[in-house]
């Protein structure tokens, strides 16, 4: 649950002492990858009769995300999946060895 809250999708402004947790969250990288897949940097939205259309890059929601690329997030998510599985394996192995004593 902590990873979901610090990933940036549900809560955008988290306390300073918890901001480092977003780099451990699969939601942080998954949400960034979702934005990159769904939108491109030159796509337009919010057309008004007076001001015209603004690009996605001018929106405060997309200020922190570079919408180009996406392979970095893919590799990080893959490494996290492997790393968390290895960690779970060793935790379960330790628990089984303790219960056999």
Over residues 10-68, the pLDDT tens digits come to: 776 778 888 888 888 888 888 888 888 887 656 656 666 666 666 555 555 555 666 67
pLDDT at 23: 86
Distance CA 26, CA 97 (A): 30
Predicted TM-score of the model (pTM): 0.68
pLDDT value at 76 more than 90: yes
Structural domain boundaries of the chain?
A: 2-38+70-99, 42-68
């Amino acid at each position: 649950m902590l990873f979901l809250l610090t990933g940036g999708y549900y809560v955008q402004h988290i306390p300073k002492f918890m901001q480092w947790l977003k780099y451990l969250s699969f939601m942080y990288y998954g949400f960034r990858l979702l934005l990159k897949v769904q939108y491109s940097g030159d796509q337009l939205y919010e057309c008004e009769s007076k001001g015209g259309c603004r690009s996605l890059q001018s929106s405060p929601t997309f200020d922190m995300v570079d919408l180009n690329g996406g392979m970095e997030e893919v590799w990080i998510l893959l490494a996290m999946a492997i790393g968390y599985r290895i960690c779970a394996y060793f935790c379960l192995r330790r628990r089984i060895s303790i219960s056999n004593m």
